[in-house]
Structure 1
Amino acid sequence: MTGILVTGGAGFIGSHYVRMLLGPGGPGGVRVTVLDALTYAAQPATLDPVRGHPGFRFVHGDIRDAGLVGRLAAEHEEIVHFAAESHVDRSIADGTAFVSTNVLGTQTLLEAARRGGVRALVHVSTDEVYGSLASGSWRETEPLRPHSPYAASKAASDLLVLAQHHTHGCDVRVTRCSNNFGPHQFPEKLVPLFVTNLLDGLDVPLYGDGGHVRDWLHVDDHVRGIELVRTRGRAGEVYHIGGGTELTNRELTARLLAACGAGWERVRHVPDRKGHDRRYSLDWSKISRELGYRPRADFDTALAETVAWYREHRAWWEPLKARAAR
């Protein structure tokens, strides 16, 4: 029985990962402890489907708490590290919490893992650490050129993780993903923000000319990729997890308008975000070649299913929008 400590497991991606581990079709032979500080974006109810599982445990706590993290690390063979502050706009307003959680919190976790004899640690990161590129796709060997406080804090945490391997020989693995979407995503991110606004009869804010390009990855494909890295990845390596659907924000907006039965009169163009990267694109041939990863979700089908989920779960997201507005 492998004990896995999942930090940030009550968040959007972390909770999907935990439900995959302990739900039907999961790998079996694992016990999972979720450590989560339950900040504004966390949703403990997303873990309700697995709360009755004999291998599930929840701990309310902060990854910056060295004593707590040290005790938990010593009780587990592996760690999958999701816990992070992740909203770019909030980092632009004030990056303090991002440095504290993403950098100092990760360092606290790494020290606990090393001292506790953790067998392997998977650190979940983002394509935003690379900055922006006009054409082509980044490989895992590209230098990091982050442009936002959020991206800089994630780049710093990536380097700290990889340094544990080079300095101490620890088995650490880093994943970098493209833009996620799917059910249970906090409604401050683009897809759920636009969908819930449209469902409420409100306008949607489109930055600049809407020409910023992102690759879209369904959360189910993302967590499958993370599990491949946990079970079959190599120590000290970085793996990209992509979705294979590059769209401008304007193209994505058109799809969301159509799915919600709305027209372009509902789009409000707003001044571009400070330091807004123009295009992200990951080359994910390495994880495909080494671990057999392929995204399964058809983008248009998955997007329609995501819109339908938000339409049917107002009771879930309405209180969150009120919380985010405070």
Structure 2
Amino acid sequence: MILVTGGAGFIGSNFVLHWLARHDESVLNLDKLTYAGNPDNLASVADDPRHRFVHGDIRDRSLLAALLFEHRPRAIVHFAAESHVDRSILAPGEFISTNVEGTFALLEAARAYWDGLDQPARAAFRLLHVSTDEVYGSLGPCDPPFTESTAYAPNSPYAASKAGSDHLVRAWCHTYGLPALITNCSNNYGPYQFPEKLIPLMIVNALAGKPLPVYGDGRQVRDWLHVLDHCAALERVLQAGVPGQVYNIGGASEMANIDVVHTLCDVLDRLALKPHSYRAQIEYVADRPGHDRRYAIDATKIHRELGWKPEETFASGIEKTVRWYLAHADWVARVQAGAYRAPLGAAQ
């Protein structure tokens, strides 16, 4: 069994579905079910005996200890985090509490559990901490991409909280020997992404006839990674990564935000058959405070050492993503109405 934290969120739920589709090994899924944790994401495995969902908070040390000692997982994959930059600007305390204090609680529970394992189980155990390229700060237009040795320079409360959690994981590995790994990924997109993020927001707003808000001049550059490529990379790191190492995971798809929006509009024009272009709905809005100008990932290390490369280009990945949202209007409607929060959360 593996323990996945935050497994009802966007990347976490995709990872759970990816894992169960490829492995017989069970998943213990711990999620607090905040606004971004959606039980609907896991509907297809609701009756799968290999998937057990637990409604709980990673800051609850007694719960973590009980789960670890009852289920004896061989690995922990740690997704649970507050992750939206705009929300971190408005309410930074939640990000420090979940991302820093929550990771600390998980590390301490994992250390106590790992200390009590027999030697073969101790040697096989892994804790994989999933982080972001935002910890590295912002790049200039001609700067080389981030590598695993790039100095941390976080610029938002979200990025600072993730940097703090990364440092804790590194310290617990170095000081206590806890066999932990860290991954830093670029911007993910794909199925089940909460529609406050750029790509699903643009799709949902476009189809609803609403403005497509673009920050500033729209020339902020990001590297885009399809979420299932990310899941495959995490699976590979868990399988063959070296404890104590950091692996950058990128999609080799740098694009300015406005170019992403234009591409989305063009795909929607073709698939949704609107009589005029969705580009007409684009509106430029005031930039957010401290908006990083460019992120770019150098994923040479994971390519070279673990043999992983993304399968999706941005063109192929965005086409699949738009088609998914067009085919899952019911999922979008439940998210927008908040209906997804009631059934599973109320039953716990």
**Which category describes the TM-score, using the shorter chain as reference length?**
over 0.9
134-143 vs 46-55, which moves further: 46-55
Give the equivalent residue in structure 2 for 1:83: 80
Specify every segment of 5 or more residues in structure 2 that has no aligned partner in the other structure, as ranges.
115-121, 270-276, 340-348
Give the equivalent residue in structure 1 for 2:295: 280
Give the equivalent residue in structure 2 for 1:20: 18
CA contact (8 A) 2:206 2:278 kept: no
Matched, 1:293 2:290: no
37-46 vs 271-280, which moves further: 37-46
Q: Could you say what secondary structure the match of 1:308 adopts? A: helix
Give the equivalent residue in structure 2 for 1:62: 57
1:179 alignment partner, one of 181, 187, 203: 187
1:57-206 matches, cutoff 5 A: 57-74=52-69, 75-117=72-114, 119-134=125-140, 135-206=143-214
Amino acid at match of 1:186: F
Amino acid at match of 2:86: D
1:259 alignment partner, one of 261, 264, 267: 267
- 1:72, CA displacement in angstroms? 1.6
Counterparts of 1:250 and 1:85, CA distance in 2: 25
Amino acid at match of 1:94: A
Give the equivalent residue in structure 2 for 1:313: 328
CA contact (8 A) 2:185 2:249 kept: yes
CA contact (8 A) 1:22 1:53 kept: no
Counterparts of 1:316 and 1:45, CA distance in 2: 7
Q: Which protein is richer in helix relative to its size? A: 2
1:270 alignment partner, one of 285, 300, 320: 285
Counterparts of 1:51 and 1:193, CA distance in 2: 27
Give the equivalent residue in structure 2 for 1:44: 39
CA contact (8 A) 2:222 2:296 kept: yes
Counterparts of 1:209 and 1:98, CA distance in 2: 28
- 1:308, CA displacement in angstroms? 1.5
- 1:16, CA displacement in angstroms? 0.8
Counterparts of 1:68 and 1:123, CA distance in 2: 19
- 1:120, CA displacement in angstroms? 1.1
- 1:264, CA displacement in angstroms? 3.1
Give the equivalent residue in structure 1 for 2:249: 241
Amino acid at match of 2:81: A
- 1:31, CA displacement in angstroms? 1.6
Counterparts of 1:211 and 1:12, CA distance in 2: 25
Q: Could you say what secondary structure the match of 1:85 adopts? A: coil
CA contact (8 A) 1:102 1:154 kept: yes
Counterparts of 1:130 and 1:99, CA distance in 2: 18
Counterparts of 1:94 and 1:53, CA distance in 2: 37
Measured against aligned partners, the alpha-carbon deviations of 1:223-244 in whole angstroms (never above 9, x if no partner) come to: 0000111110001110011001
Counterparts of 1:263 and 1:69, CA distance in 2: 47
- 1:94, CA displacement in angstroms? 1.1
**What value does the CA root-mean-square deviation take over the aligned residues?**
1.3
41-50 vs 257-266, which moves further: 257-266
- 1:318, CA displacement in angstroms? 1.9
Query: How many positions carry a matched residue from both structures?
Result: 319
286-295 vs 41-50, which moves further: 41-50
Measured against aligned partners, the alpha-carbon deviations of 1:284-314 in whole angstroms (never above 9, x if no partner) come to: 0000001001100132122112112111211
Counterparts of 1:229 and 1:238, CA distance in 2: 10
Amino acid at match of 1:242: G
Measured against aligned partners, the alpha-carbon deviations of 1:234-280 in whole angstroms (never above 9, x if no partner) come to: 01110011001100011111101112223432111001110000000
Amino acid at match of 1:320: V
Matched, 1:210 2:242: no
Matched, 1:8 2:6: yes
Measured against aligned partners, the alpha-carbon deviations of 1:17-41 in whole angstroms (never above 9, x if no partner) come to: 1111111xx133x221000001101
CA contact (8 A) 2:40 2:331 kept: no
Counterparts of 2:73 and 2:264, CA distance in 1: 42
